[in-house]
Amino acid sequence: AQSVTQLDSQVPVFEEAPVELRCNYSSSVSVYLFWYVQYPNQGLQLLLKYLSGSTLVKGINGFEAEFNKSQTSFHLRKPSVHISDTAEYFCAVSERTGRRALTFGSGTRLQVQP
């Protein structure tokens, strides 16, 4: 079984400032890692994913994340945020083999202020 912990439920930040959204996971098997974004009243959109290879993963909208196996973390970063980045961000994991369903964290609400 897996679990995902997103340590911050809300992160307020000013426009053009950098941001980091934290994600830690726990699993007894190897996993894939994902970040999804949810805008109000919409579905989830994939930001980026780590399957294998380089531990620094670049995604859409200028976001990137780094997989740290020893710390079981997959933190999401953006060097300069925009008002349009205001949304809910979900970290998720799935097993590499067998059960492929996503296990989600509780989400982090990013609030970008002018």
Q: Which of 20, 24, 27, 102 binds other proteins (CB under 8 A)?
A: 102
Q: Which of 5, 20, 24, 104 binds other proteins (CB under 8 A)?
A: 104
Query: What string marks each residue from 41 to 70 as x (binds other proteins by CB under 8 A) or -?
Result: -xxxxx--x-x-------------------
Q: Which residues contact residue 28 at a Cβ distance below 8 angstroms, ignoring those fewer than 6 apart?
A: 1, 2
Q: Which residues contact residue 12 at a Cβ distance below 8 angstroms, ignoring those fewer than 6 apart?
A: 111, 113
| Cβ contact 65:57 at 8 Å | yes
Q: Contact positions toward other proteins, by CB under 8 A?
A: 32, 34, 36, 42-46, 49, 51, 90, 94, 96-97, 99-107
